[in-house]
Structure 1
């Protein structure tokens, strides 16, 4: 039975043989293997799973599990309202919305575990065990504790994704990797991504910032930020039911037409083509 909340749902399910499940109206789903073993198939790619395995799947991707030994799964489904504070919330989650968009925009959703660093995986397991405990306890504070724990879960996933993205890249200035991290995790904050703010934070002369960024990234700062936002827009069009107009406004575009023009300029495809193409494949 599901533990339901406005912004997430937690479910434990046991299978001797995999059965199709309904996963509507969610951004993505975190899967924690409590017991058992078998294989996960995503886009016709098989990957073995074992006890304590942790996977991340979007709502729209076709997948299933080949259960070799009876398996208990812990599913955590994130909904579109996860980072929108509700009237009874005591914590402002708006600053974490960039983490959600970062995951949507940068995860390739291939088969395999979402966190590979051994220490981070151990920490993630402890957090998921805490969620499991609160799921089974189901008292008046459990939803609040789970919601706060999920903030840490997503932060660890983001950290591992960023490590993989920067792996093998060499920069002449160590600050530049930190700068890219800061941009990725604050992509929706116009003030923090302004040249004056970035110049001050990373001790780069404002008049030199554009040249500094182009020299290290081999592209203009404005183009880099735009491509990041468009990548997130593409993922949100594919993996969520949000309207194109809402996606555009949340990502800082004037309207959906502006977002569509930018997508065509940088990637030679329109937003409706992106959304309709995915629906045809699903």
Structure 2
């Protein structure tokens, strides 16, 4: 007598896409599954132009194992969230130097995150932002301090800097190369190749480059955001007119790769020096990403910051 073996049940890693609204802007978000009861809310804030799928699921799982409930969202002008109508033809470098944004403000972008928290039913949350997401996370902590438990800023410039003050922390040659990636083919293979090129440009020199994993992620990402220089310019050009980051009161952790090819380590040191009580952790051999060998340690550091 033989018994039939049931096929394994497929279990999704992330929830189906859900939606929050800030005025006319719709924001796509999802949650890491399964969600453990009592987990502390933690929102991942995505970097310049790219979709939320760029967050390593392994990092999210490492954070969840430390007692966090994880959500991630696409910022406006990225991923599945609302893309604003085309504005003046400009590139990211020019957008940094403009005295006003073409379409919206940095305050609007912070309010997007709060709309996501509201949709999730979270009164407050820990923030973990990388690259532009780190600067946005700093601004969220300034504009909505009662909603933020802790702040982790990774590979980011000071959230209150603008124009030349920002450019001093940016490697312009890398930024120019990023802008040129928007000229690639509009075929599926084009966005995958462009995404691989982006990931290779920003990866950590002391760690292996996992091209198969990058390709798999890009193949499943509705809009990886690599080729849309106009959207990137609107995001990077959004002007902040709020208080200085020295007014941040949330417990703050600042991480920065010492081999970051896009944002100089001076940026992270400056952020940590200006936020009261912030702790700066340099990451030797790390670029403008968070490679797998760091995930457990990063999760441990965020857990310590949150009190545990």
TM-score by length of 1: 0.30
Q: Highest Rg: 1 or 2? A: 1
- Give the structure with the larger helix fraction: 1
> Relative CO higher for 1 or 2, CA cutoff 8 Å, sep ≥ 6?
2
